[in-house]
Amino acid sequence: MFIADTEILRDINDLRNNEKTDFSESIEKLKEEALKTEILFASEEFDIFGSMSEDKTKINTLGNTKHREIKKNKFRILDITKNTKNEQYVKRLEEIISSLDKAIDKSAFGFKLKTFYASTEALNSKDYNLLYINPKNALEKFKNCEKINLYNIKLNEKTKGIALTNIAYYDNTNRTLPVGMNISDKVLVDMGKLNLELKKQKLFRINQEIDEMNAQTKIVCVYEYEAVNAE
């Protein structure tokens, strides 16, 4: 679940849809990032847990609740070392895909949920996708775009998906992690398993202040979908 909320989700979807099998560029970027964060070391038998001392007694706060848990790490989860090759990376992605499929398949929300997804493109109907509960958060990364598509997707009680609760981002070794969604308001769904029916669409313009003298007009195209007989 943690990996699904990183840039790796693009690789996961590409592999799952048979659109890509060579991820050399992604692997090199991950190695560079790991080096910058002093996680990757030069030894031949590299242990990503080696030389990492984390204070398990450190107090963190989530939702006004204190806990002593460690943040999850994508390099550990992906088994990235200085020797990682494409076939190893692909195998790990396949394992993650299998885990996500199993988790989504046995997890129904159990209640109606209004979610949002923003994009400058048409709605993707086959990928894993992260939907937001708060439309403002969905629009945040598109604040510099002049035209935005905002998809309002109403999920029903039978819709299968995973809410990215706090445990998606932290280990809970000490059993002190607060229950809830303090870090994210995202839910992960398999768009290919949603039977979406377009109910309404509308267009409106909003003015965004750039500075005291200037403002920018944005066009927001809203599409309202409803999940019908979701698997």
| Residue ranges in 37-151 assigned as alpha helix (H) | 74-77, 86-105, 135-139
The amino acid sitting at 230 is A
Collapsing DSSP states into helix, strand and coil, what is residue 91? helix
Task: State residue 112's pLDDT score.
Answer: 94
Amino acid at site 65: T
Instruction: Give the pLDDT score at 46.
Output: 43
Q: What is the mean pLDDT of each run of 10 residues along the chain (231 residues)?
A: 97 96 96 77 44 63 90 92 94 97 93 96 93 94 89 95 95 92 96 94 82 79 87 50
| Structure token pair of residue 123 | 């709605």
Supply the range of the domain harboring residue 89.
3-227
Give 45's contacts (C-beta < 8 A, 6+ positions apart): none
The Cα-based distances of 116 to 160, 164, 170, 183, 229 in angstroms read: 16, 15, 25, 17, 19
Q: What share of the chain is helix, strand, coil (3-state, %, to 5)?
A: 25, 30, 45
Q: Of all helices (H) and strands (E), which one includes residue 11?
A: helix 8-16
Evaluate whether 147 touches 120 at the Cβ level (below 8 Å): yes
Question: Helices 86-105 and 8-16, interaxial angle, to 10°?
Answer: 80
Tokens standing for residue 81: 């070392």
Residue 64: predicted pLDDT:
87
For 186-195, give one letter per residue: b (16+ CB within 10 A) or e.
bbbbbbebbe
What is the distance of C-alpha 49 from the center of its chain?
24
Q: Which of 128, 136, 179 has the alpha carbon at shortest distance from 1? A: 128
Domain count, the chain: 1
Q: Distance between terminal CA atoms of the chain?
A: 20
